[in-house]
Amino acid sequence: MPTVRSEKGGVITADSTRSRGENIDILPMGEVDRSPFDYLALGLRIRFGRRVEFLPDQPLPEEAFDRTRGQWLARELLRSIKPRPSTWRTLAVVGVDLFAPGLTFVFGEADPTGRRAIFSIDRLRPERAGEPADRELLLGRCLKEAVHEVGHTISLGHCRDRFCVMRFSNSLADTDLKRDNFCGRCRRLVARGTAGLAGTAAAPRR
């Protein structure tokens, strides 16, 4: 059984005998910048010990668009994701601005019972905040957001360790401070999650 050593030194087992049903599917929705995809796939594979596959594009469902706000309702987009029966988790990636009721915006959202999660590249782009383009920074932010949301789908809540990827991000400053990997405590929970524990929390998480 081959193992993959994450950069913090933790070992996650990557079992090459896993069935097809153990994949993480990445689903591009609408027009989305695919340049971070290969980096995302590698990072997710290492952290969760899963094969990563890319699904064909799916259009954004119009009913999720709020014309008054000019934003897309994350919960509605999540609901439109129909995971393949054979897959472990489905992660949608969008390029539009997401929101949730009561919040100005959200970076992403996860449905812990539905094995699906979503995040947007939009607010992770430095240019959006008037900063110069920075590809490495963008890749790092995308991976943190992706790992965070998939983490929620295996019942991980928010972590108090400010460097842990499961720390809640209220702003990009929070995102940039944390690492793209789990703290020791969360990593142990992930190891249990990858052993097949299903999510139990019903409410969506961000």
* Residue 81 vs 183, nearer CB to Zn ion: 183
Site map 186..205 versus Zn ion, x via CB under 5 A = x-------------------
Active site residues: 149
* Residue 15 vs 177, nearer CB to Zn ion: 177
Nearest to 83 by CA among 206, 198, 201, 205: 198
Subset of residues 165 to 184 that bind Zn ion, contact rule: CB under 5 A: 166, 183
* Residue 51 vs 117, nearer CB to Zn ion: 117
Choice from 159, 172, 189, 190 touching Zn ion (CB under 5 A): 159
For 189, residues 6+ apart whose C-beta sits below 8 A from its C-beta are 154, 155, 156
Nearest to 130 by CA among 96, 163, 172: 172
**3-class SS at 186?**
helix
DSSP state of 56: P
Subset of residues 37 to 66 that bind Zn ion, contact rule: CB under 5 A: none
Token reading at 72: 């897309």
Q: Give me the residues that bind Zn ion (CB under 5 A), please.
A: 159, 161, 164, 166, 183, 186, 206
